[in-house]
Amino acid sequence: MKSQKNFLEIEFYRSVDQLRRSSSSVSNNIAESYNKRSVKEKCHILRDMVIAGAEETESNISRCGDKDFLPVVVAQEIADGYVNLKKAVFGYIRFLNSNFN
């Protein structure tokens, strides 16, 4: 029983660590794209890195809710926020491509 408890604690902390890394990656990549001069570079970072990081974070949040690491309702609210973030990033990419290409 003790080993099962240790396993759950380790899994919890690994999940939290992965969430921290993936969510900070999203904001760091948004900041990085802001400082790029060309639209092509901005769109590449936004599309390939920000969206991928947001999808990873959304998936990890949902998984944490499934594992009862946080309430399912809270997990869904946070995951919905990442869905909205992805929509906003795609909209920004369309704006950049239509106005600066």
Say which DSSP state 69 is in: S
Do 72 and 65 meet the contact criterion of CB atoms below 8 Å apart? yes
Q: What is d(CA 32, CA 24) in angstroms, rounded to the nearest whole number? A: 12
Q: What amino acid occupies position 5?
A: K
Q: What is d(CA 5, CA 7) in angstroms, rounded to the nearest whole number? A: 5
Please determine, for residue 30, whether its predicted confidence score (pLDDT) is greater than 80.
yes
Q: How confident is the model at residue 4 (pLDDT cuts 50, 70, 90)?
A: low
Please determine, for residue 84, whether its predicted confidence score (pLDDT) is greater than 90.
yes
Q: What amino acid occupies position 37?
A: R
Instruction: For the beta carbon of residue 25, count every other beta carbon within 10 angstroms.
Output: 17
| Domains of the chain with bracketed CATH | 2-100 (1.20.1440)
Please determine, for residue 1, whether its predicted confidence score (pLDDT) is greater than 60.
no
**32-83 confidence digits (pLDDT tens):** 999 999 999 999 999 999 999 999 999 999 999 999 999 999 999 999 999 9
Indicate the pTM of the whole model: 0.87
